[in-house]
A and B are shown apart, each in its own frame.
Chain A
Amino acid sequence: MSTELSLEDVRVHLGGKEILCGVSIDIRPGEFLTLLGPSGSGKTTTLNVIAGLVENTGGHVRFDGKSVDRRPAHDRDIGLVFQSYALFPHMTVGDNVAFPLRTRKVPKGERGAIVERMLELVQLPGTAKRRVSSLSGGQQQRIALARALAPAPSVLLLDEPMAALDKQLREVMQIELKRIHEEVGVTTVAVTHDQTEAMTMSDRVAIMRDGLIEQIGTPEELYQTPATLFAARFLGETNLFAVASGRLEAFNCSATKAKGTAVLRPEDFAVADGSRDLPTIDVKVITSSYQGNRYRIDVDRGPDCEPLIVSLPPTTDPTSIAPGVDLRLGLLDPTGVHVVEEEAASEPPLVSADIVVPA
């Protein structure tokens, strides 16, 4: 029932510039895949190529193995939720949701029932007669989703679906979208630059960079075993340590690879109290902030090093991690440290890559 979607070496040239340089993804039927990347990485272009709004100059897009390269947008049987929702302001909510049914020549008598079912799915039953402009941003977003899903499309595409919502509503909608996806089971591709959103909603995430897929995997895989420093830095908070001659120098312990960079997450550390025999590092606290479920402390580990970001349990004594305090941190799982075969210096740090740019 669900459609398998595959992109094979998809390329897009626009105005002498190569925007997509060979993107290949296989998306399983019913899977929820998110394209995550900074602006200009080609994620929206990829989505538009799947939708048929941008023509691929190379490669193939296939729905269930059949090439749709020559099929224009109106012939692809897709549902697309725009960042701005693009609801038709001159129609009622019901007419908006019924629009894709009308273009697909669904008999008039059946439309009403489908519309009502869709409105129930997005938890806005009975709003069919209302004007679009009378709805709040979050409600409009739900209507846009109902409209995209009404004709039971082969593929659902979401272009920065939460960007126009405020933070709290965004979190509610992410869970809501996941529920709806599980209920409908349609193959879904979403675009976002918000890593939390990508991890919350998706079965798999594809990190994009400069028109290419950097890494693709489940949120767990991407977080625990990033393939590159870019992927490591883009998803989650990251601390990088040089590995040379098979040793993690800063902790003076052995590493899993001979050479490269170890990726340590904030929760990989604990305050060393001598009760366990852990590799340690001496640091000085720069700032500490209480965030409800944790303390986040930024610590200095010496000149010419990026500060470390460390998570400590919320039960930690705040005076023991006050700014200026010297601290000895232990590495919790020295044998499980993930090492990327790249030099830390080869990859400049991202400048607030996960800042959400409002629409």
Chain B
Amino acid sequence: MSPELKLGLGISRGVFWALGILLGIFLILPLLIVVPTSWTNGQLVEFPPHGFSLQWYEAVFETSQWTEAFWVSLKVAFFGSIIATVLGTAIALGMRRVARGRGTRVAQSLFILPLAIPYVSYALGLYQLVNKALPSSLNETLIPLIFAESVIAMPLVYVVIAGALSQVDPRLGRAAATMGARWPTILWRIDLPLVKMGIIAGFIFAFATILDEATLALFLAPVTEITLAQQLYRSAAETVTPTLSAVSTMITLLAILVLGIGTLFSRRRVGATQGGEA
């Protein structure tokens, strides 16, 4: 807490501390229960866990349903976030070039819209579209799902890179132009290097989002290839076994890892673009 805030709040800062701690517990409690249940020695999801073993983790790795679903999820997340990153970067760079006005504000809202619409209605619409408009050879692949996921992840990339770009002096591009640089050179040597960290961070956030997205997958994944989130739903609907806890723990760990790296990059971005100002 900064000294100013500390003094400003006075005695009442105790209340804020209490609220903060409560909120933290509320967020972390489910995790504190799920994780131990995954190392139970018994056959049931129970808390406190019965003894300790890693048998349910072994079970996950030995069941092809889980490992295949994991690879499908990785594939979708990887390609989906690459497309999202390319789109988001292009939009952020493009929006910077067009003149500010009412039109640009409308466009900005449109590009963020995928974050706001309910995934179910979007998925339902896409489902109809894919079934009617695409040949069956295509809608039995992961391609429709990858594109759908990239659309919902694109706003994240756009927001991160637009934020990074707002730290970049717009005169740099003009300066480069006066030095004989055409736009591809400006893009490649000036704009992209300056938002490099933002692009990496955007990619990672997109990846983490797509990795455990379930709604679109339920509608659009082909019957033969289902994602990890789908597999979780499916087995939860049948029986609740400690396998679920083990998978959940691993996904959580992966998400923490990936997002941690992402945060690290978005932090470094600030440091990298702050130089050179008078």
Contact = CB atoms under 8 A, between A and B. Distances in A.
Interface of A: 51-53, 72-80, 82, 84-90, 99-100, 103-104, 131-133, 137, 140-141, 147-148, 151, 157, 164, 359
17 contacts: A53-B178, A74-B181, A75-B180, A79-B179, A82-B171, A82-B175, A88-B172, A88-B190, A89-B272, A89-B274, A89-B275, A90-B272, A99-B179, A103-B182, A140-B278, A151-B179, A164-B278
Contacts of A148: 179
Contact of A80 (B178, B189, B273): B178
B278 A84 contact: yes
A147 B180 CA distance: 12
A95 to B, nearest CB: 9
B166 interface: no
B180 A104 contact: yes
A84 B272 contact: no
Nearest to A150: B179
Given A86-B175, A103-B185, A140-B278, A151 B180 contact: yes
A74 B180 contact: yes
Contacts of B31: none
A78 B273 contact: no
B275 A80 contact: no
Contacts of B274: 89, 133
Interface in B237-278: 272-278
B138 interface: no
Nearest to A78: B178
Contacts of A140: 276, 278
A90 B177 contact: no
Interface of B: 169, 171-172, 174-182, 185, 189-190, 193-194, 272-278
A258 B272 CA distance: 67
A68 B171 CA distance: 22
Nearest to B181: A103
A91 B124 CA distance: 48
A157 B175 CA distance: 12
A100 B171 contact: no
Given A88-B190, A90-B194, A51 B278 contact: no
Contacts of B189: 99
A14 to B, nearest CB: 12
Contacts of A359: 278
A89 B181 contact: no
B177 A72 contact: yes
A140 B276 CA distance: 8
A131 B169 contact: no
Given A99-B181, A103-B179, 6 more contacts: A72-B177, A79-B178, A79-B179, A85-B276, A103-B180, A131-B275
A85 B179 contact: no
Question: Which 8 residue pairs of A and B lie closest in terms of their CB atoms, listed nearest first?
Answer: A133-B275, A89-B276, A100-B179, A86-B175, A103-B180, A89-B275, A80-B178, A132-B276
B230 to A, nearest CB: 42
A87 B178 contact: no
A147 B175 CA distance: 10
B186 to A, nearest CB: 9
Given A132-B276, A359-B278, A86 B172 contact: yes
Contacts of B272: 89-90
Contacts of A51: 178
A84 B181 contact: no
A85 B175 CA distance: 9
B172 A100 contact: no
A85 B193 CA distance: 19
Contacts of B178: 51-53, 73-74, 76, 78-80, 157
Nearest to B186: A74
B193 A90 contact: yes
B235 to A, nearest CB: 48
B80 to A, nearest CB: 29
Nearest to B276: A89
Contacts of B182: 74, 103
A51 B189 CA distance: 21
B276 A87 contact: yes
B100 to A, nearest CB: 13
Nearest to B271: A133
A256 B217 CA distance: 92
A147 B190 contact: no
A131 B274 CA distance: 12
A88 B276 contact: yes
Contact of B275 (A53, A72, A132): A132
A82 B176 CA distance: 11
A86 B193 contact: no
A73 B275 contact: no
Nearest to A359: B278
